[in-house]
Amino acid sequence: MTSNMVLSKKEYKVVGTRPVRHDGVEKVTGAARYGADVHLPGMLHGKVLRSPHAHAVIKRLDTSAAEAHPSVRAVATGRDLAEVAEGLSEVGEDIFTSLRYMRDNILAADKALYAGHPIAAVAADSPHQAEEALALIEVEYEVLPPVVDVEAAMAADAPILHERLATAGLEGEDYKADTNIASHEQYILGDVEAGFEQSDIVVEREFRTKTVHQGYIEPQSSTVVWRGDGQVVAWASSQGHFGVRDSTATVLGLPQSRVKVIPMEIGGGFGGKLSCRLEPIGAVLSKKSGRPVKLAMTREEVLTATGPTSGSYVKMKIGAKNDGRIVAAQGMLALEGGAFPGSPVGGAAACMLSPYNIENVRLDGYDVVTNKPKTTAYRAPGAPIGAFAVETIVDEICERLQMEPLEMRALNAAREGTRRADGVVNGPIGMEEIVEAVRSHPHYGSPLSDGNTGRGIAFGYWRNNTGPSCAVANVAPDGGVALTEGSMDIGGSRTAVAQQLAEVLGIPVEDVHPTVGDTEAIGYTSVTGGSGVAFKTGWAAHAAAEDIKSQLIDRAAFIWETDASNVEYVDGALRHKADPELSYTFKEIAAQLNSTGGPVVGRANVYPTGVGGSHMANLVDVEVDPETGKVQVTRYTAFQDAGKAVHPSYVEGQMQGGSVQGIGWALNEEYFYGDDGRMANTSLLDYRMPTSLDVPMIDTVIVEVPNPGHPFGVRGVGESSIVPPMAAIANAIHDAVGVRMRDLPMNPDSVVRALAEHNGAAE
């Protein structure tokens, strides 16, 4: 069992408690409706024809035979999408550097850039008939050599994906066009050369990671109807229905007000459901057929044609003094954007050194295109890759200095006022408190069992995010509050947002009934990503509740025939300051709203600053079988600064979930590509995610260092949990068997090879 702990700063009545989630009954009984549960009268079924080639020019596309099929009602190709102007398309952490790239990823124009790239689509009376019709579409390809590795893509003789792509470099840099390097960005602090000259020890190493998928359980599904009045309505599971609306409108050439997206429940996302993929295709097919169209991906399509995270190459150098103080760090990071530019290299560079106070830094990040699906955000996008390199080297420096790894972290810990590599100066942060939480935990210093066992530690950071958010709260006559918000709920955020509204109003959270509104029912709200929902939409709920309080004060003043300044709202009740006998509970005043002026509706539209990043640490024990190379994680404790845990159970769940995903990324998960650029392991039988048999119970310690930039001190918690696991496990493997693992995944084959090389070198 887990020994979950919360190291708390301030207590509230509702915030910080563990109520039953509002959507729990529907989900455990199967009543909740997801994207695939939409069934409309006259609905057709769509299927997408995808390129079998990783890199090919589309010479000819003939859909006439498919159109003649007796059950086919419509066919769509890239020619049906609108021409779009150049411009940035950014939906949360999912970035396309060009609107044209976003359009071409939905339906290819003149070139297939990965195996699985959509070429055309059909709508037929049944899914089987639609699949049958795909075989009738004739495509003539000119097959080109693919490149599916970031280092190979950067080589001078690499096949070029985009003939007109030129590197977006730094001022004064001279990059030629026709390259796979989409951009170069650089972060500089101090004088890194001088820092290395002052160093007593310098360690430089190379690291490589493979492409991995978010592994959400629900495949993408969308149902779209293009109505006779020209309005497009889509039912979709996504992490941001406003982003889906805007992307769909853009590629269809429609005003945003002509597209309505109705959010469904979502079966996981982790950043992988930010992108718009099926809705524009469904809209075209619906317009042509005059009927609603449903498209649903198979698991193979999810793996081959949605956005995984980047494969990467990182070369990192860190210099330290003999006392363990880090004085210089330099890194070169190359991350894959997949078929189109837009990798998370910026997140990697911004976060990889953020747990520490280092005065001399230079980081060069490169966004590189390869013949793989366009990468999408995956939980703290980029940061786990950077942390894997940094935390592994820090551990090696500790070994060479014979210094306790935790003490070196304590010595170099970032604190308030520390300037990060991205130039941001920290406000109050929890790195030092995380160090102390690790030091005081029973796991730290406990004896390891005999055999090839080891313990590893690693730290991580994620900067978190904000964005526009809207909340509307309608007070019912019985004192209930209908709360409509614009943030998709993945991890229980409806309840966490409702708790913040209830805290302000002083009412039970059970009296708040939260729902996620469609794009016409609520104001624009940015995506559920960047660990921003509890922060930004919680803030919107806080402001909406304050609006309700103000209106209720006015109503009580009206009833008592006094000025509003003589009325106060305390602990869910209205009181006359001069006459204590005059008071109303929330329910009592709610019953009088219609007779005193009509409904009371609290509203808020916010775009809050003061985000506040989150630090994380992992303490991991492993057992390594030197004969087979199998690594078994035997004990795992996760520590995280949540600012203020609104619902501690959900925070613990996020910490545990990110840790398990990190274990999979560390030990098993990867895309296997053949020489032809096609993915070989396209099912969950072959794409090896951890099961319950592969992981121990994850103990959690929530540290609360309140974020002064939020009314309740909230920091985002959903992403930093995946940042340190890979490095912590690598460090534990070294502690167990003496080998340094610098490539992911650290599967049995790679561990056996590393041991053989290590033992050979020792001889």
Number of CB atoms found within 10 A of residue 464's CB: 24
Average of per-residue pLDDT across 311-327: 98
What is the C-alpha to C-alpha distance for residues 1 and 697, in angstroms, rounded to an integer? Answer: 6
Contact 600, 550 (CB under 8 A): no
Neighbours of 281 (CB within 10 A): 29
The DSSP output letter for 304 is H
Question: Do 671 and 214 contact (CB within 8 A), yes or no?
Answer: no
Q: No. of H helices and E strands in the chain? A: 19, 29
As a whole number, mean pLDDT of residues 485-498 equals: 95
Per-residue pLDDT reduced to its tens digit, 642-687? 999 999 999 999 999 999 999 999 999 999 999 999 999 999 999 9
Q: What is the pLDDT of residue 244?
A: 97
- Residue 99 near residue 46 (C-beta atoms within 8 A): no
Q: Which residues, other chains included, contact 46 with Cβ-Cβ below 8 Å and sequence gap of 6+? A: 121, 122, 123, 124, 130, 278, 281, 282, 285, 293, 294, 295
Percent of the chain with pLDDT over 70: 97
CB-based contact 590:479 (threshold 8 Å): yes
pLDDT the model gives residue 2: 47
Is residue 644 within 8 A of residue 705, CB to CB? The reply is: no
Beta bridge partners of 481: 475, 512
User: Measured between alpha carbons, how far is 503 from 636 in angstroms, rounded to an integer?
Assistant: 34
Instruction: Give the sheet arrangement for strand 614-624, strand by strand.
Output: 5-7, 698-703, 631-641, 614-624, 453-462
For position 491, what pLDDT does the model report?
Answer: 86
Average pLDDT of 473-490?
A: 97
The pLDDT of 616-620, averaged and rounded, is 98
Cα separations in angstroms, 740 against 90, 319, 526, 717: 38, 18, 41, 30
Give the pLDDT score at 4. Answer: 66
Alpha-carbon span 43 to 377, nearest angstrom: 32
Q: Is pLDDT of 180 > 70?
A: yes
Two tokens, residue 519: 């794009």
- What's the whole-number mean pLDDT along residues 707-718? 96
**Taking residues 4-14, what's their average pLDDT?**
74
Q: In angstroms, rounded to a whole number, what is the distance separating the alpha carbons of residues 116 and 136? A: 18
Which residues are bridge partners to 673 per DSSP? 679
The lowest-confidence range among 172-186, 352-366, 412-426 is: 172-186
Lowest mean pLDDT among 168-182, 494-508, 550-564: 168-182
pLDDT tens digits for range 121-149? 999 999 999 999 999 999 999 999 999 99
> How far is 682 from 393, CA to CA, in rounded Å?
34
pLDDT given for residue 705 in this prediction = 97
- Which residue has tokens 């006015």? 554
pLDDT category, 188, cuts 50, 70, 90?
very high
DSSP for 246-292 reads HHHHHHHT--GGGEEEEE-B-S--TTTT-S--SHHHHHHHHHHHTS-
User: Residue 658, Cα to own-chain centre: how many angstroms?
Assistant: 11
Q: Which amino acid is at 467?
A: G
Q: What is the Cα–Cα distance from 555 to 578, expressed in whole angstroms? A: 17
- Residue 741 pLDDT > 90: yes
101 to 243, 336, 339, 500, 732: CA distances (angstroms): 16, 15, 9, 40, 42
Please check whether residue 347 is in contact with residue 93, taking contact to mean a CB–CB distance below 8 angstroms: yes
pLDDT score for 360? 98
Burial of 300 (0-12, 13-18, 19+ CB in 10 A): middle
Report in angstroms the alpha-carbon separations of 493 from 440, 546, 642, 652, 663.
Answer: 31, 20, 14, 14, 25
- Is 671 within 8 Å of 372 (Cβ atoms)? yes
Decide: 625 and 452 in contact? Cβ < 8 Å.
Answer: yes
| Average pLDDT for the chain | 95
Instruction: Give the residue carrying structure tokens 């853009």.
Output: 250
pLDDT at 310 over 80: yes
Q: In what order do the strands lie in the sheet with 56-62?
A: 111-112, 56-62, 138-143
Distance from the Cα of residue 461 to its chain's centroid: 14
Q: Is the confidence at residue 752, as pLDDT, over 90?
A: yes
Report the 3 state secondary structure along 530-595. Answer: CCCHHHHHHHHHHHHHHHHHHHHHHHHHHHHCCCHHHEEEECCEEEECCCCCCEEEHHHHHCCCCC
Instruction: Convert the pLDDT of each residue in 29-43 to its tens digit.
Output: 999 999 999 999 999
pLDDT in tens, 233-273: 999 999 999 999 999 999 999 999 999 999 999 999 999 99
DSSP string, 350-400: HHTTTTB--S-EEEEEEEEE-SSPPP---SSTTHHHHHHHHHHHHHHHHHH
Element (H, E) at 197: helix 192-198
Q: Which residue in this structure is represented by tokens 């159109």?
A: 67
Instruction: Determine what percent of the chain is predicted with pLDDT higher than 90.
Output: 93
- Higher confidence at residue 61 or residue 610? 61
Query: What per-residue confidence (pLDDT) applies to 1?
Result: 35
- Residue 94 has what pLDDT? 67
Alpha-helical regions (H) of 420-532: 431-439, 493-505
